[in-house]
Amino acid sequence: MPRKNRPKKDKDALRATLGLSLKGKGPGQGVGGGAPVGNTNYTRGRIFRQALLRVIRSKSRSDRLEELERIAAKLADLAKRGNIPAIRELVDRVDGKAIQAIVGDGENPLLFKDVSKLSDEELKKLAQAL
C-alpha cells in the first residue's frame, strides 16, 4: 500500500507498541507526547489536582480568591524567611522551570530517530532490532 494511503491508526499502533515517538499524544503514549508506554505515574498528579479543585470549588468565588491569596502570601512569607522549597516554587511559578538538558556521556551518546516518516517495513525492521 502506498505510504500516504496507509491507515494512520496502524502506524500509531505500531509506534506505540515500540514505545517510539508519538508527538501530540497524551501521557503514557510514548516519547515526545508524555511518559513511556505503560507508565501511569501521571495519574497521581491528576488525582491530587482533582482533589485540590474539589476543595477550591466547594467555596464561593470570593472565598476562593481570598483563600488563594492567603496561600500565595504564605508561600511568599516562607520564601522571605529562607525556605528553599518555597523559594524554588516561587521562582518556578514566576520565571518558569529551568530547562534541563538531556545528554548522554562520551561513551554512550543519546541518539534520537524521528520515526514519523518511516514506512511500515522500516518500522518492523527497527522493532526487530530492539
Residue 35, in any domain of the structure = yes
pLDDT at 84: 94
My answer on whether 41 and 66 are in the same domain is no
Structural domain total, the chain: 2
| Domain-located, residue 130 | no
The set of residues, in sequence order, having a beta carbon less than 8 Å from that of 101 and lying 6+ positions away, is none
Amino acid at 51: A
Residue 32 and residue 22 in contact, taking contact as beta carbons nearer than 8 Å:
yes
Quickly state the pLDDT bin for 22 (edges 50, 70, 90): very low
Residue 126 in domain: no
If asked whether residues 47 and 66 sit together in one domain, one would say: no
CB distance 23 to 116 below 8 Å: yes
Q: Is the pTM of this model over 0.75?
A: no
Establish if 125 belongs to a structural domain.
no
Predicted confidence (pLDDT) at residue 4 exceeds the cutoff of 60: no
On whether both 67 and 96 belong to a single domain, the answer is: yes
Q: Is residue 13 part of a domain?
A: no
Asked if residue 66 and residue 44 are part of one domain, the reply reads no
- The radius of gyration computed from the CA coordinates of the chain, to the nearest angstrom, equals 22
Domain assignment present for 24: yes
50 with 71, same domain: the answer is no
pLDDT confidence band for 1 (50 / 70 / 90): very low
Residue 2 domain-assigned (yes or no): no
Average pLDDT of the residues in 92-117: 80
Q: Look up the domain containing 94 and give its range.
A: 59-103
Same domain for 47 and 78: no
Q: Are residues 71 and 93 in the same domain?
A: yes
82 and 93 share one domain: yes
Asked if pLDDT for residue 64 goes beyond 60, the answer is yes
Specify if 119 maps to a domain.
no
